[in-house]
Chains A and B, each alone.
Chain A
Amino acid sequence: EPEVTQTPSHQVTQMGQEVILRCVPISNHLYFYWYRQILGQKVEFLVSFYNNEISEKSEIFDDQFSVERPDGSNFTLKIRSTKLEDSAMYFCACSASWDTQYFGPGTRLTVL
């Protein structure tokens, strides 16, 4: 069964450093998303991406964040200058159309 993969599974970084979280969505899916979940809290939408551009973004997705689909298979989330409050689990998700979104296993980001 096709699945979404994410790397790394855990990333530790110093405050102010840049991080890139990587995702390989299901191959025939066209819509891509990033969500985050701060420990013990609900899952929050960050951004959606379709046809090589951002479809929508939340208030959380400020200028420190960017997304890219560099090579037709990978989908990345970059945080330019990490803050302590960026520590969270980051989930990539994808969908074929407007239906079910399938999530990756997540990347746990720890900012020290």
Chain B
Amino acid sequence: AQKITQTQPGMFVQEKEAVTLDCTYDTSDPSYGLFWYKQPSSGEMIFLIYQGSYDQQNATEGRYSLNFQKARKSANLVISASQLGDSAMYFCAMRVISSGSARQLTFGSGTQLTVLP
């Protein structure tokens, strides 16, 4: 079974500063993908970034980067130059990609990020 752990229920960051949201995962499958989603107060789930288990480089998407440390089973999200609009709940998720497995995402409990002006 897969498990995602997000140990920070809430985080605060000053506008324009960088912030790291932690995510650790547990799986015995060698092939998996890690995702981060943003959920603003309006409720929708917005895809931010993806990292495959065999990717050699850390994923980046604009101000988002994923600090992937495979040996430690961690996939932390780094947001650079925080903006007020970044205030939201952030979910880390994983799915295994091995043959015959389901495509379902397993989510962590989320981190509520508040960006302070």
Give the B interface residue count (CB, 8 A): 23
Chain A residues touching B, range: 20 to 34
A98–B105 touching, CB < 8 Å: no
Given A99-B50, A105-B43: A45 touches B91 (CB 8 Å cut-off) = no
A106–B43 touching, CB < 8 Å: yes
Chain A residues, Cβ within 8 Å of B93:
43
Q: Please measure, in the bound complex, the distance between the C-alpha atom of A12 and the C-alpha atom of B105, giving whole angstroms.
A: 27
Q: Please measure, in the bound complex, the distance between the C-alpha atom of A100 and the C-alpha atom of B33, giving whole angstroms.
A: 9
B103–A89 touching, CB < 8 Å: no
B35 beta carbon closer than 8 Å to chain A: yes
Interface residues in chain B, defined as those with a beta carbon under 8 Å from any beta carbon in chain A: 33, 35, 37, 42-47, 50, 91, 93, 95, 97, 102-110
The 12 sampled A-B contact pairs (Cβ below 8 Å) are A31-B103, A33-B105, A35-B105, A42-B91, A42-B108, A42-B109, A48-B104, A99-B33, A101-B103, A101-B105, A103-B37, A104-B44
